[in-house]
Structure 1
Amino acid sequence: MQTYFDTNIFVWQFSGVPVTELCQHRFLLYNQDATQHLFEVAAGLDSLVLGEGQILAQVKQVVKNGQGVPGFGRKISELFKRAITTGKRVRTETNISSGSVSVSSAAVELALLKLPEYSSSTARVLIVGAGKMGKLVIRHLVAKGCKKMVVVNRTADRVAAIREELMDADIVYKPFSELLACAAQSDVIFTCTASKAPLFIKESVQALPSVNSEDGCRRLFIDISVPRNVEPSVAELEGAGVYNVDDLKEVVEANKEDRLRKKMEAETIIAEEVKQFEALKDSLETVPTIKKLRAYAERIRSAEVDKCLSKMGDDIPQNKKKAIYDLSLGIVNKLLHGPMQHLKCDGAENRTLSEILENMHALNRIFGLDTEMSVLEEKVRAKIEQNQKQSS
């Protein structure tokens, strides 16, 4: 089997399909390299944003869509299930997805951090601008539990589209002519427009009513626009707090460095999971031998039970027939348990692949199973050669 991967799509082709049929932007990975890559993708290590969480959901969707599709057999199914497990384990044990690594997400986290008096559901939020950055801010706010907000934009179309996409949120549109009136009723204001002139200057902000003068709360301006939408002098006002892109970039860079450190921990986990999956995959090669051995034992068991029952006559009670059947089945299962265990390579035992191969040869020779061994033999030779190259 050959496994082809590109950044967003996983395509499985089996032997006989020419590689030239694949899109030039895809790349080809075999065996353990393919497993390693998929596990890294599921863990978010191969994403544009390190630790990206959405990619794991996409991997799960691949498994869902692949059910019943020709070629999506047991090995591929097990591969993706283990990849999902690996992705979850990496996120749980390393917490690699924590910390904002984009300006928009950092802006939302900073706002919630600087306004401890409010919960995400009670803070009065204003977003100025419904372009790409504004939309991202709104998404992050909704993800943090802020379901109610006002959006000021030059046109209503973009706001309507965002409202349709985020149906759970209560998004109110206001035109630019009502900007200051909306700001007067807001605790935190995100600005993300392409305006070349500041939208909030010191004089206009100073004229706004205080957020809560008794508790000393400040109206918070999170300016992620370039050029700035909030005049720097606004920060001089006692009732206003101003943060801009430069402030947020420091947080983002620190979080990126933290994720890079966590990536090393994640790579250790992935190495463990790849090793376990490779052992599981190798164990599947013994399935034909296991089936033939069990079928061989079942033929003997069934024939001997029939012979026994025929000697005992036709007037045997049904419960005694069942007892004889259960006895024969129990004896066979107990006798097969040892040989079956020595054919498994699932990581539970410290048996090498060569030991499994020797056991298969022995059982084939003893019971005359005529099991095809070439596939596993080639795998053993390839692994031995690879180990010899690494050691040299």
Structure 2
Amino acid sequence: MTAIGGSSSSAATLSSSVKFPPSQFPKSSTFSPHPTPLNPPKCTLRSENPLPPNAVVSKPSPLEILKTSSVDRYTKEKTSIIVIGLNVHTAPVEMREKLAIPEAQWPQVIQELCALNHIEEAAVLSTCNRIEIYLVALSQHRAVREVTDWISKLSGVSIPEICKHQILLYNKDATQHLFEVAAGLDSLVLGEGQILSQVKQVVKSGQGVPGFDRKISGLFKQAISVGKRVRTEKNISSGSVSVSSAAVELALMKRSVASFDDARVLVIGAGKMGKLVIKHLAAKGCRKMVVVNRSEERVNAIREELKDVDLVYRPLSEMLECATEADLIFTCTASESPLFSKENVEMLSSVGKGVGNRLYIDISIPRNVDPGVSELENAVVYNVDDLREVVDANMEDRHQKAMEARGIIQEELNKFEAWIDSLETVPTIKKFRAYVERIRASELEKCLSKMRGNVSKEQKEAMYALSMGIVNKLLHGPMQHLRCDGNDNKSLSEVLENMRALNRMYDLETEISLMEEKIRVKLERAKK
């Protein structure tokens, strides 16, 4: 269950055979997972030594095909951060529930995604109003294609239908999007706070999972810091509503009597969302409600917090019996199939004269109330998409706070971009240290051999310490100029130029780039 949120833009998809300067990349455009390649200029080559008709030509390896499909793609391009998914702004509830991924399955999904050829790291943020997959990809376009295919097979939704509703953002845009999500700026209920706890849960679920590694975990941890700063410094959550409180407000709006004094309230589910619904009902004056849950333990915990509210526990097996006695029903469980079908609701007795129809407020994804129930004369059903009616009030003040919060997001975005770019220098730092260490160890060994063993243990230790001290002091300057965390005045271009200079001066380049080696490992794994 979750915060409401979304995105209004999607990044452009470009042919993998062409590169454009950054200024020519449109920030938003329609995405197609199978881009049409640009037509190359036609030319005819004449061979001096044509192959015999029966000659056997060896096929290029998969790695060679990948390498030659775009010049220098794997040797000079960095990995990309990508977010792909859909949310309450781009897709209706019936689409979102098909793609929803239960929290318990997030670790397994991360491993499945990272088993794809072009995915290095991954994370999943799936809530009642968004399903977003964050990736560190070895190739933008191939990664998007692989993940889109994976989502389609998992959900049974066609690729064209997914692309019609999805968001797709790359690198800085993807990072900024997550920061805005964590800060509550991307939510339908602007400034709502529950989404931050859900972003924290992504990190908790990813701990120790192969594929939830340095870059993706760093991204989410930075997003958590952004969310905390925005809420602390801008107080954007003040006066805002959450999904659960909006559901209670909606119930008040739709009841014939705008109070809960005589309401017969049934809450199904006592998890996080159910607990919040109960608390908001109590805050609005509801002093008695029936709570249906699998066990009584959670209901007892809520009783301890709300001692002045009469909470009556009933097991799930008595749900329909309890529904017959209720005129207002909130559903907020993680059930993957509807709890109320059209057939069993039709069998329920009417709520009685003067009360009106029985109201169902369904804030679950997948939905707990079958859409067909809304066709019945004695039932009125509202779901999370109907909460927009509630959240339009008091928006002006929160929009002003949101504008102020974007300054914080920009600061944190610059820090994260600096950290990501500085990771490029890590292999150079390691290779340079190893290069210097080999020289130090070799020269120390030569010195000791010339002394023909006339050296005590204490003297050897002193000579070793001396050599290490000299090396560390000499390395201090270069190492400082290869690090950039966004907190100093060094530009990233300066740091990266220092890295290239060291590579040139000390011949630190390797024959196979790190990116190319990752692709090779992926392809070999796929063959097994």
Q: Given the two structures, how large is their TM-score scaled by the length of structure 1?
A: 0.62
1:266 pairs with 2:405: yes
Equivalent runs, 1:1-392 vs 2, <5 Å: 1-6=80-85, 7-12=130-135, 14=137, 15=139, 16-17=142-143, 18-19=145-146, 20-21=148-149, 22-23=151-152, 24=162, 25-101=165-241, 105=245, 128-131=263-266, 137-140=277-280, 150-151=287-288, 156=290, 158=291, 165-170=298-303, 172-173=310-311, 197=354, 255-370=394-509
Number of residue-to-residue matches in the alignment: 292
CA separation of 1:59/1:162 partners in 2, compared to 1, >3 Å: closer, same or farther? same
Unpaired stretches in structure 2, ≥5 consecutive residues: 1-79, 86-129, 153-161, 249-259, 269-273, 304-308, 313-326, 330-350, 357-389, 516-528
Distance (Å, rounded) in 1 between the aligned partners of 2:202 and 2:439: 44
CA separation of 1:127/1:324 partners in 2, compared to 1, >3 Å: closer, same or farther? farther
How far is the alpha carbon of 1:40 from its aligned partner?
0.8
Task: Give per-residue Cα distances to partners, 1:162-216, cap 9 Å, x unaligned.
Answer: 9654431325357xxxxxxxxxxxxxxxx978887489xxxxxxxxxxxxxxxxx
Decide which structure has greater helix share: 1
CA separation of 1:355/1:107 partners in 2, compared to 1, >3 Å: closer, same or farther? closer
User: Quick check: 2:194–2:242 contact (8 Å CA) kept in 1?
Assistant: no
Letter in 2 for 1:50: L
How far is the alpha carbon of 1:253 from its aligned partner?
6.4
Q: What's the secondary structure of 2:236's corresponding residue?
A: coil
Distance (Å, rounded) in 2 between the aligned partners of 1:279 and 1:55: 26
Task: Give per-residue Cα distances to partners, 1:323-344, cap 9 Å, x unaligned.
Answer: 2212211111111111112122
Letter in 2 for 1:358: E
User: Quick check: 2:244–2:276 contact (8 Å CA) kept in 1?
Assistant: yes
Q: What's the secondary structure of 1:8's corresponding residue?
A: strand
Distance (Å, rounded) in 1 between the aligned partners of 2:278 and 2:168: 39
How far is the alpha carbon of 1:313 from its aligned partner?
4.0
Letter in 2 for 1:286: T
Deviates further, 341-350 or 15-24: 15-24
Q: What's the secondary structure of 1:277's corresponding residue?
A: helix
Of all paired residues, the percent bearing the same amino acid is 58
CA separation of 1:103/1:358 partners in 2, compared to 1, >3 Å: closer, same or farther? closer
Q: What's the secondary structure of 1:86's corresponding residue?
A: helix
How far is the alpha carbon of 1:102 from its aligned partner?
6.1
User: Quick check: 2:183–2:191 contact (8 Å CA) kept in 1?
Assistant: yes
Distance (Å, rounded) in 2 between the aligned partners of 1:74 and 1:347: 17
CA separation of 1:84/1:196 partners in 2, compared to 1, >3 Å: closer, same or farther? farther
User: Quick check: 2:172–2:417 contact (8 Å CA) kept in 1?
Assistant: yes
How far is the alpha carbon of 1:347 from its aligned partner?
1.6
Task: Give per-residue Cα distances to partners, 1:286-316, cap 9 Å, x unaligned.
Answer: 1111111111111011111222223334353
CA separation of 1:93/1:373 partners in 2, compared to 1, >3 Å: closer, same or farther? farther
